C-alpha cells in the first residue's frame, strides 16, 4: 500500500484538540457528517487524544460511529459500547517516583491522570476559580480537573496507576531546559500536545503503540490506518499509519511526517481528509 491509497483505509485515528475539535472545542457538523459517512462504509473511527477519559467532550459520545477512544496519549483504550477498558499501559512505579523527585524542585502546575480522571493541586485550582485566570481555558480546568491537597503525594499514593503527568509552563521559555532534565527520568517518554506543556508517560506509552493494539483487536494492518493530528504527541501515530495526515495548523515537525496537509481544524480539516482518502471526493 502506498501513502494515501484510496479504498484502503479501514481505521481513522483522530486527535481531538487542534485537529478534530474546532476553536470552540466542538466537532463541526462537517466533520461529524464525514465521519458518519466513513462509518457507513465500514471504516472504524477511533479517537486518539492526550485527554483523560473524564475530559472527553460530549460530542464524542454523541457520534454513534465512534466506538473506541484512546486516552491519556495511549495509556488506555475504552470501548464506549460496553464501557470496558480493553487496554492499559501506565507508567512504571520508578517513573512516577523519579518524576516527583524532579518536579518537587521546581514550581510548575502539575496534573496527573489516574484511572481516566485528571487531578490538579488544590491551591492552583482555587486560585483559578477565584481569579478566572489560567494557562488554559478556565472553564476547561474547572470542569475537568479534580483538586487534591498535595499533587506530589497523590502521585506517589497512586504510583501503580499513573497514566500521565502533565507539566504546565506559565513561561514557555523554561520548557526546553526542563525537557532535557525530564529526559533523564527512567522508563519515560516525554511529549507535548500544547505549547505550554510537557507530558510524561510510560516507556512504551504512545498513541502509536495503543493503535497497534487497536488494529490487532480489529484484525487490520496499521498500513490500513489513516491518522490525523497537529502536535508532537501525534507524530508517532502518524509515522505508524499508512496514511499520515496533518491539519493546516499543525506544527512543522508534524507536517514533515505527513503525506497530506488538510485544511486547519477550524476549516474542517478532518472532513477534508476523510472525503479525500475514504469517500474518494476531490478536495482542497
Q: Which helix (H) or strand (E) holds 225?
A: strand 225-229
173 and 97 inside one domain:
yes
28 and 102 inside one domain:
no
Low-confidence ranges of the chain (pLDDT < 50): 1-2, 4
Q: How far is CA 182 from CA 132, 151, 191, 248, in A?
A: 30, 18, 10, 30
Task: Report the alpha-carbon distance of residue 227 to residue 237 in Å, rounded.
Answer: 6
Q: Are 170 and 135 in contact (CB under 8 A)?
A: yes
Cell numbers representing residue 165 in the block: 503527568
Reduce the DSSP state of residue 79 to 3 states and report it: strand
**Considering 175, 202, 229, which residue would you say is the last residue of a domain?**
202
102 and 194 inside one domain:
yes
**Considering 202, 224, 252, which residue would you say is the last residue of a domain?**
202
Query: What's the gap between Cα 180 and its chain centre?
Result: 22
275 occurs within a structural domain: yes
DSSP-assigned letter for residue 125: H
Q: How many structural domains does the chain have? A: 2
Q: How far is CA 185 from CA 154, 174, 235, in A?
A: 19, 18, 21
103 and 234 inside one domain:
no
Give pTM, 2 decimals: 0.93
138 and 185 inside one domain:
yes
What pLDDT does residue 284 have? 55
6 occurs within a structural domain: no
What pLDDT does residue 135 have? 77
Q: Which residue segment(s) compose the domain that 216 sits in?
A: 11-89+206-279
135 and 222 inside one domain:
no
DSSP per-residue string spanning 137-179: -HHHHHHHEEEES-HHHHHHHTTTSEEEEEEE-SSGGGHHHHH
Q: Of how many residues is the chain composed?
A: 284
Task: Report the alpha-carbon distance of residue 179 to residue 190 in Å, rounded.
Answer: 8
What pLDDT does residue 7 have? 57
What is the CATH classification number for the domain harbouring 66? 3.40.50.1000
What pLDDT does residue 281 have? 79
Task: Report the alpha-carbon distance of residue 36 to residue 41 in Å, rounded.
Answer: 9
**Considering 153, 179, 202, which residue would you say is the last residue of a domain?**
202
71 and 126 inside one domain:
no
Amino acid at each position: 500500500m502506498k501513502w494515501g491509497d484510496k479504498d484502503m483505509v479501514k481505521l481513522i485515528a483522530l486527535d481531538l484538540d487542534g485537529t478534530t475539535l474546532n476553536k470552540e472545542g466542538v466537532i463541526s457538523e462537517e466533520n461529524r457528517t464525514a465521519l458518519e459517512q466513513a462509518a457507513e462504509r465500514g471504516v472504524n473511527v477511533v479517537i486518539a487524544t492526550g485527554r483523560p477519559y473524564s475530559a472527553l467532550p460530549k460530542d464524542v459520545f454523541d457520534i454513534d460511529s465512534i466506538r473506541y477512544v484512546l486516552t491519556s496519549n495511549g495509556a488506555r483504550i475504552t470501548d464506549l459500547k460496553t464501557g470496558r477498558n480493553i487496554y492499559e499501559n501506565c507508567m512504571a512505579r520508578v517513573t512516577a517516583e523519579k518524576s516527583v523527585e524532579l518536579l518537587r524542585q521546581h514550581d510548575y502546575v502539575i496534573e496527573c491522570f489516574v484511572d481516566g480522571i485528571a487531578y490538579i493541586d488544590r491551591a492552583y485550582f482555587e486560585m483559578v476559580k477565584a481569579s478566572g485566570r489560567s494557562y488554559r481555558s478556565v472553564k476547561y480546568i474547572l470542569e475537568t480537573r479534580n483538586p487534591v491537597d498535595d499533587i506530589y503525594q497523590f502521585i506517589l499514593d497512586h504510583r501503580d496507576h499513573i497514566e500521565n503527568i502533565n507539566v504546565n509552563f506559565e513561561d514557555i521559555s523554561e520548557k526546553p531546559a526542563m525537557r532535557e532534565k525530564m529526559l533523564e527520568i527512567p522508563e519515560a517518554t516525554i511529549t507535548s500536545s500544547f505549547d505550554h506543556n510537557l507530558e510524561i508517560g510510560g516507556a512504551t506509552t504512545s498513541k502509536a503503540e495503543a493503535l497497534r493494539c487497536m488494529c490487532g483487536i480489529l484484525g487490520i494492518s496499521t498500513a490500513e490506518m489513516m491518522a490525523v493530528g497537529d502536535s508532537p504527541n501525534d507524530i508517532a501515530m502518524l509515522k505508524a499509519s499508512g496514511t499520515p495526515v496533518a491539519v493546516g495548523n499543525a506544527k512543522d515537525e508534524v507536517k514533515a511526517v505527513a503525506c497530506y496537509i488538510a485544511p486547519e481544524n477550524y476549516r474542517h480539516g478532518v472532513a477534508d481528509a476523510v472525503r479525500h482518502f475514504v469517500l474518494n471526493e476531490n478536495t482542497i
